[in-house]
Structure 1
Amino acid sequence: MASKTNRYPRTKFQLTPSMNVREIVLVGPAQSRFGERYGYGVDAKGKQHYLAWLHDTRQAALEAGEVKMAEQEKRLETAKVNVAKRRANLDKAKGAAA
Structure 2
Amino acid sequence: MERPLLTVLLLVGLIIGWAVGSAYARARRGWTDYQTAKKSVPGARRGAWGLVRGVAVKAAVVGLLLFGAVAYAAAGSDDETAGPAPTSSTSSTTRDEPSHR
Normalising to structure 2: TM-score of the pair?
0.40
Answer 1 or 2: which has greater helix percent: 2
Report which of the two structures shows the higher radius of gyration computed on alpha carbons. Answer: 2
**RCO comparison, higher one (Cα < 8 Å, 6+):** 1
Answer 1 or 2: which has greater strand percent: 1
Normalising to structure 1: TM-score of the pair?
0.41
